Amino acid sequence: MTAVASPPLHERLQAAAAALSGRRTESLFDAEPHRTEQFQCRVDGLVLDFAKHRLDDAARQTLLELADARGLLEAFSALINGEKVNTSERRAALHTLLRGTRSETQPELFALVEDTLSRMSDLVAAIHSGDATGFNGLPFTDVVNLGIGGSDLGPRLICEALRQADSPLRAHFVANIDPHDLDNTLLGLDPARTLFVICSKSFTTEETLSNTVRARAWLQAAGATDDTLGQHLIAVTTQVERAGEWSVWPERCLPIWDWVGGRYSLWSAIGISIPLALGWPAFSRLLQGARSVDQHTATAAPADNLPMMMALLELWQTHYLKTDTHAVLPYAQRLARLPDFLQQLTMESNGKSATPEGQQVSHHTAPILWGSAGTIGQHSYYQLLHQGTRSFTADIILPLSADEGDHTARRALAAHALAQSRAFMIGRSAEEACRLGAERGFSAAASRQFELTGNHSHSFITMNSVSPESLGGLIVAYEHKTFFLAVLLGINCFDQWGVELGKAIASEMQALLRGDKATVASDPATLATVRAWQDANPTP
Ligand code: F6P
């Protein structure tokens, strides 16, 4: 069994959590006059305000001691210097290099990155200028990204967040093997003007290959020939030779490398849908925002280090205050895809229960992360947050300005973000519940049903606006938070062995559904559903 902190620090944090368990967060503002300034980290326009966490200054200092004791800054330096931090796969995790954060140790790898960026930029320019066209010579209007997980969620988030009315191409994303996903996306698209980007680091992912087969058939049915099909295809993979077997021209096969994890790959050619859809300057600015937060993370002292503080807060919440779930609540429709992206980043990275040495961890690891854009959730699951029995923590995210949209509506949006934050903290007291109940004719006892405990710890994160730089920076803050949390928890955040079992059983289930039962182990409940599916789907 492992512990997240050595005995003296662990005991101090446990004692602090016990002392704070009955404490109202509002009262901490009175006790700590400098709390608002001290409980803040900033980088560029990104501000993490964690004053509404059930955490006092003494506990904050102990968490910072833990950051030192666990060598978080040294661990980050090992990451960006290309040490083999992904121990189970015996490789580095150099996503930072993709945005130009480099040390002297990787000149050859950085040359690969620069060469690929230059190839991407040439390809994007040819497509935007109309030099590269579809099979009948017309310029492209739409790009469809075929990929799943890390080969989908990041580029999808960025394209949806930054899309403008005058963006060069419309971007679409197809991930699911359910044929409806591709079919529905292609409705209304003109095959002659549609470009596909096949994104798969491994080039073995069933969903992506199945969608590629069907996308190629759609192009061919519309008139693409063996000679012209390649005009519509770009592939991004570590397996560039294999992509060539799928009609992708060699100059359209862009590499990524085993030292880039899938969920950290949007900065690589996996993200080519971003400059295709939004223009090359937007992609450069995204990388710039990302690089700036890399630099901050590498150099800022723990007390000021925004991603490090996010990780320490998560540890405090999950491990010491015992909250189970983490809601990400962006008050910006442009960031509606952020919770989906962070789900993979957080839960695929840190959803582990053993250390690299095989020891079972003695503590919870990643929280369950979920959420959606405010204000939509307010009319759905916030009831549980305010009055249910589950414990949670949250990140409320509010971009401060926007060059677009009605001012009054945006002010209302900001008011809701601020209101929820305050309601999470103060709740509704027994006295107020009594007054509310009395107005409705309830006894004092029955009026307790209107009480809201409040005291729900959460961070309030602001950013200047949803710009390429700020979005790049925000994503990187969460990337490094995830890494720091893994270091604190003693786990490897760069592998995902847990997903392999389902993939292996899925191919056995295919055999069962085809009627080839002989070699496949199963159980009566599964077999009953197999029969029901076969009855509903007679072999064509
Ligand atoms: O199955 C999980 C996973 O390997 C993710 O880690 C990855 O982002 C996704 O599948 C897609 O993988 P690929 O890019 O190799 O198709």
Query: Tens place of pLDDT for every residue, the chain, 540 residues?
Result: 467 888 899 999 999 999 998 899 999 999 999 999 999 999 999 999 999 999 999 999 999 999 999 999 999 999 999 999 999 999 999 999 999 998 777 899 999 999 999 999 999 999 999 999 999 999 999 999 999 999 999 999 999 999 999 999 999 999 999 999 999 999 999 999 999 999 999 999 999 999 999 999 999 999 999 999 999 999 999 999 999 999 999 999 999 999 999 999 999 999 999 999 999 999 999 999 999 999 999 999 999 999 999 999 999 999 999 998 999 999 999 999 999 999 999 999 999 999 999 999 988 899 999 999 999 999 999 999 999 999 999 999 999 998 788 999 999 999 999 999 999 999 999 999 999 999 999 999 999 999 999 999 999 999 999 999 999 999 999 999 999 999 999 999 999 999 999 999 998 899 899 988 666 778 999 999 999 999 999 987
SS3 content of the chain, % helix, strand, coil (to 5): 55, 10, 35
β-bridge mates for residue 361, sequence order = 2
Residue ID of nearest Cα to ligand 1 atom 10: 149
| Distance from C-alpha of 117 to C-alpha of 139, rounded to nearest angstrom | 22
* 374 shares a domain with 450: yes
506 CB contacts (<8 Å, ≥6 apart)? 206
β-bridge mates for residue 199, sequence order = 236
* 239 shares a domain with 160: yes
* 264 shares a domain with 314: no
End-to-end distance of the chain based on CA atoms, in angstroms? 54
- 263 pocket-lining for ligand 1 (C-beta < 6 Å): yes
Q: Which of 84, 322, 503, 517 is catalytic?
A: 503
Please give the DSSP secondary-structure letter assigned to residue 22. T
* 419 shares a domain with 313: yes
Quick one: which atom of ligand 1 is closest to the CA of 263? 8
| Distance from C-alpha of 238 to C-alpha of 116, rounded to nearest angstrom | 12
| Distance from C-alpha of 522 to C-alpha of 81, rounded to nearest angstrom | 47
- 205 pocket-lining for ligand 1 (C-beta < 6 Å): yes
- 265 pocket-lining for ligand 1 (C-beta < 6 Å): no
Is 75 domain-assigned?
no
* 173 shares a domain with 55: no
How many structural domains compose the chain? 2
Residue ID of nearest Cα to ligand 1 atom 8: 150
Based on the residue annotation, tell me whether 348 is a catalytic residue of this protein: yes
Q: Which of 207, 348, 451, 479 is catalytic?
A: 348
Residue with the two structure tokens 């699951």: 381
Helix (H) or strand (E) holding 114: helix 107-129
Which residue segment(s) compose the domain that 267 sits in? 95-284
Quick one: which atom of ligand 1 is closest to the CA of 348? 6
- 201 pocket-lining for ligand 1 (C-beta < 6 Å): yes
DSSP string, 411-452: HHHHHHHHHHHHHHHH-B-HHHHHHHHHHTT--TTGGGGG-B
Measure 101 CA to ligand 1 centroid, in angstroms. Answer: 24
Measure 262 CA to ligand 1 centroid, in angstroms. Answer: 6
Residue ID of nearest Cα to ligand 1 atom 1: 499
- 194 pocket-lining for ligand 1 (C-beta < 6 Å): no
| Distance from C-alpha of 220 to C-alpha of 247, rounded to nearest angstrom | 12
Is 86 domain-assigned?
no
* 274 shares a domain with 309: no
| Distance from C-alpha of 424 to C-alpha of 155, rounded to nearest angstrom | 32
Q: What are the phi and psi torsion angles at 283 (to 5°)? A: -65, -40
| Distance from C-alpha of 308 to C-alpha of 296, rounded to nearest angstrom | 10
Q: Report CA dihedral (382, 385, 390, 396) to the nearest 10 degrees.
A: 110
- 155 pocket-lining for ligand 1 (C-beta < 6 Å): no
* 261 shares a domain with 352: no
As given in the structure block, the two tokens for residue 276 are: 């295709």
Please state the pTM of the whole predicted model.
0.97
* 482 shares a domain with 341: yes
Is 108 domain-assigned?
yes
Quick one: which atom of ligand 1 is closest to the CA of 153? 8
Q: Report CA dihedral (506, 512, 518, 519) to the nearest 10 degrees.
A: 0
Q: Of 499, 501, 503, 507, which is best to mutate to test ligand 1, by the most ligand atoms within 8 angstroms of its C-beta?
A: 499
Minimal CA–CA distance to 230: which of 242, 241, 210, 245? Answer: 245
Measure 261 CA to ligand 1 centroid, in angstroms. Answer: 9
Is 149 domain-assigned?
yes
CATH code of residue 448: 3.40.50.10490
- 307 pocket-lining for ligand 1 (C-beta < 6 Å): no
Is 515 domain-assigned?
no
Residue ID of nearest Cα to ligand 1 atom 13: 200
* 128 shares a domain with 46: no
